[in-house]
């Protein structure tokens, strides 16, 4: 049954307050398709009954969290868009590694990492192309708001379809083992990534200073003031020579004057001005 306007407005407000996710009118189908399975699982006759129950409980409760989690879009795949990983390998990492030669430390943040393909792509690429980092302290922190996707990310288990999306065959052979009908990331790669729950619109707690930040395909869900606040906070957590990677449809231009655009073949990255 179609969701009523007051129910859609209630859910859209919840998503905005809890995760900054903007659900404009027209996204009713998304709310219906994501929440109907939860309503059924909880034994409700329909979405209206389920939302009526949600209205009676505290917004910070576990059922509300489950609803917000279900409204996140977790689309991702290995080496998504290809060019950011090429730019990281060819032009961003070499000077950073040179500049950190004495410190022998590199810190990378993958914010909104979904089910982990993005941070694992970075970890595999580092192992393949920068063997000298084996003796360095390399931290890859990967965060997301959704405990559900983080659970899969930590396990590092992917279906055949998931590994078919973007993962070069040579990486599959070298860095995965077969796991039932799917594939599991080998321990040395899995353990090189730390996964942590982090809501970008709440306090970030204590974070290290980052040399590289990937925050791709998440700012598109937020309104302009939220994008600006997040970009400003990221910049404050970055090394002066660090670099920021956004999604192909995203930009820091006109949002945060504190970033300078850096051009690479096919993509732009940003460094603190």
Ligand X SMILES: C[S@@+](CC[C@H](N)C(=O)[O-])C[C@H]1O[C@@H](n2cnc3c(N)ncnc32)[C@H](O)[C@@H]1O
Positions marked catalytic:
34, 144
162 sits near ligand X (criterion: CB under 6 A): no
Per DSSP, the three-state class of 113 is: coil
Report d(CA 214, CA 53) in Å as an integer.
Answer: 38
Size (the chain), residues: 273
| 139 beta partners | 107
Taking CB under 6 A as the criterion, the residue among 96, 123, 126, 149 binding ligand X is 149
Containing H/E element for 208? none
Q: Which one, 20 or 138, has the nearer CB to ligand X?
A: 20
- CB-nearer residue toward ligand X: 221 or 259: 221
CB of 153 to ligand X, least distance (A): 9
Q: Is 20 in the site for ligand X (CB under 6 A)?
A: yes
Q: Is 262 in the site for ligand X (CB under 6 A)?
A: no
* Options 14-22, 130-138, 235-243, 250-258: segment touching ligand X (CB under 6 A): 14-22
Query: Of 72, 73, 158, 88, nearest to 117 (Cα)?
Result: 158
Residues in CB range of 159: below 8 A, 6 or more apart: 181, 182, 183
Q: Tell whether residue 141 is a contact of ligand X (CB under 6 A).
A: no
Measured CA to CA, the distance from residue 211 to residue 106 in angstroms comes to: 6
Residue nearer to ligand X on the CB measure, 175 or 216: 216
Structure tokens at 196: 């942590």
Strand 176-179 with 193-197, pairing: unpaired
Binding mask 91-130 for ligand X (x = CB under 6 A): ---------------------xxx---x------------
Please identify, using beta-carbon distances, which residue of 96 and 150 lies nearer to ligand X. Answer: 150
Question: Of 21 and 239, which has the nearer Cβ to ligand X?
Answer: 21
Strand (E) or helix (H) holding 173: helix 169-175
Among 59, 28, 62, which residue's Cα sits nearest to residue 42?
62
Instruction: Give how many residues touch ligand X by CB under 6 A.
Output: 25
Q: What are phi and psi of 213, to 5 degrees?
A: -125, 125
218 binding ligand X? (CB under 6 A): yes
Contacts with ligand X by CB under 6 A lie at 19-21, 72-76, 80, 112-114, 118, 144-146, 149, 199-201, 216-218, 221, 247
């Amino acid at each position: 049954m179609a969701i009523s306007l007051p129910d859609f407005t209630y859910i859209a407000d919840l998503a905005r307050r809890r995760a900054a996710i903007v659900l404009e009118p027209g996204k009713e189908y998304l709310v219906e398709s994501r929440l109907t399975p939860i309503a059924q699982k909880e034994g409700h006759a329909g979405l209206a009954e389920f939302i009526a129950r949600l209205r009676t409980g505290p917004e910070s409760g576990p059922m509300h969290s489950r609803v917000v989690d279900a409204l996140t879009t977790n689309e991702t795949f290995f080496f998504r868009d290809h060019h950011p990983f090429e730019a990281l390998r060819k032009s961003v990492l070499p000077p950073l590694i040179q500049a950190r030669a004495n410190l022998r430390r590199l810190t990378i943040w993958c914010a909104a990492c979904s089910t982990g393909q993005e941070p694992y792509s970075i970890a595999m690429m580092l192992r393949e192309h920068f063997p000298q980092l084996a003796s360095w302290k390399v931290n890859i922190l990967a965060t997301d708001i959704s405990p559900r996707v983080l659970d899969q990310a930590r396990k590092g288990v992917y279906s055949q379809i998931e590994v078919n999306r973007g993962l070069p065959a040579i990486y599959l052979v070298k860095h995965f083992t077969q796991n039932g009908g799917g594939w599991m990331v080998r321990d040395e790669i899995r353990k090189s990534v730390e996964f942590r729950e982090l809501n970008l619109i709440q306090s970030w707690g204590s974070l290290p200073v980052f040399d590289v930040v990937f925050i791709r395909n998440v700012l598109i869900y937020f309104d302009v003031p939220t994008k600006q606040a997040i970009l400003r906070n990221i910049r404050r957590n970055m090394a002066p020579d660090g670099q920021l990677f956004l999604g192909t449809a995203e930009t820091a231009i006109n949002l945060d004057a504190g970033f300078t655009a850096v051009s690479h073949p096919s993509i732009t990255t940003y460094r603190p001005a």
